[in-house]
Structure 1
Amino acid sequence: MHKTTVYLPVELDVRLEAEARAEGVSKAELIRRGVAKLLDESQRPRQAKPMPVFDSGRSRAVDEIKAELVDEIADRAARR
């Protein structure tokens, strides 16, 4: 995970603290849930980047190329 600092108005922080206590989770967990929900429900069209071109100037094994493709697809999925 990456650490991010978020500044909240006092009133929002008080409500967040109360909800976290009621749910039995941390404020950070509620913030993560809220951000995930916002991004999942976003209507903004996602721009797909072209798949990487593998031109290293040397021959590579199929397994090596496959691993790089799997990593690229996982990175893209994580950004959605």
Structure 2
Amino acid sequence: MAHIRGIAKITAARETGDAPLIIGNSLVFGNVCGKVLVEGNVLPNRSVENQTQELLVFRGGDSIHKVNESKEKTKSKKQPER
């Protein structure tokens, strides 16, 4: 259901090769680059760029949220019972 219109650009980040994902009823008229999940409208003359490997979630307006995708789990050592 998403639409890319006008002079919009959807590009992968040069540094990481990650590309945006546009979902839902999103409308993109601006530029989106890198590992960005778009769930809203990107208006003309607006750029949402991410050159890192962290996921950014864009919901429209100025709403940009970083998502920590670290899957490393630290194992806690079980203390011996006394």
Q: Which band: TM-score by shorter chain?
A: under 0.3
Tell me the TM-score normalized by structure 2: 0.25
Could you say which structure has the larger radius of gyration?
1
Q: If each structure's strand is expressed as a fraction of its own residues, which one has the higher value?
A: 2
